[in-house]
Amino acid sequence: MALSLEKISSEAPSLLSLAKTAYQAVDTSGLNGQKAKVAVVLDFSGSMAAVYRSGAMQRLVEKVLALATQFDDDGAIDFFVFDTRASYLGEISIGDFPGSVDRLTRGRSMGTTNYAHAFLTVREHFGFVPQPPPMPKRGLFGLLKGPAAAGNPPAATPSEIPVFVLFLTDGAPDSKESAMQALTEVSSAPIFWKFLSIGSKSIAFLEKLDDMKQRFVDNANYEPIGDVDAISDSLLFKKMLQEFPEWLGEARAKRLLK
């Protein structure tokens, strides 16, 4: 259930215009009434230093928060950063969002770019720990009877609520192989990854992650956004929502979601 515009106007009036634009984008996407937990995962590698100093990451987080009000009435997003490792740094809510990025990252040293740990950290945070694969059956003398089951995750109770992750970076990861393996592994969790990139060029590796074939579901989409402050809010929200409806349908068909 969305947070009402009246409540946003009362408790966070500076977010009201963004929330109205987000509402229009959600309505156009046919997602009105869809509930989701929303998280933002920001690249905290050294190459991002100037972008943080400019305040662009704070402004992006405020836009993600405005979008989140259309999917969840708790008025908060989960905030993660990743560099050499990934960390959950807390919630950002409509009651405390001003200055939140600087406040939550204060004292953290910038590092390299570890996508894989970010993917696994988010999955663990939301409690989607995978079950071990079933053991292959053995015959009388301990010999395997046919191949072990592979390809599908073990049956589990479908989740009530999906997790919608906005993941922003400015470059490819330290280990591309680890990132591909981790994204494949988390494809059996009810998490949709929206990859966003900043900079003058699109990132070929994110395009590759978008198109990977080995996953349980197609759990990611990539959209380059260039300059966070130059792109219009309406276009940014449209890019954020691209392919989310299609993923919801596939996730329900594969029983990741009710």
Rg (CA), the chain: 19
Between the two ends of the chain, the Cα-to-Cα distance in Å is: 16
- Flag whether 258 is in a domain: no
Instruction: Quote the CA–CA distance of 196 and 143 in Å, as a whole number.
Output: 49
Domain that holds residue 174: 15-128+159-252
In a domain, 135, yes or no: no
Q: Is 99 helix (H, G, I), strand (E, B) or coil?
A: coil
Is residue 115 one of the residues assigned to a domain? yes
**Residue 191 domain-assigned (yes or no):** yes
Query: What is the structure's pLDDT at 137?
Result: 53
pLDDT per residue as tens, the chain (258 positions): 799 999 999 999 999 999 999 999 999 999 999 999 999 999 999 999 999 999 999 999 999 999 999 999 999 999 999 999 999 999 999 999 999 999 999 999 999 999 999 999 999 999 998 765 555 555 555 544 443 333 445 446 899 999 999 999 999 999 999 999 999 999 999 999 999 999 999 999 999 999 999 899 999 999 999 999 999 999 999 999 999 999 999 999 999 999
Residue 123 lies in a domain: yes
pLDDT at res. 241: 98
Q: Residue 4: inside a domain, yes or no?
A: no
Give the H or E element holding residue 76. strand 76-82
**Residue 230 maps to a domain:** yes
Q: What is the CATH number of the domain that holds 91?
A: 3.40.50.410
pLDDT at 152: 47
pTM for this model (two decimals): 0.91
Domain total in the chain: 1
Distance CA(197)–CA(154), nearest Å, equals 34
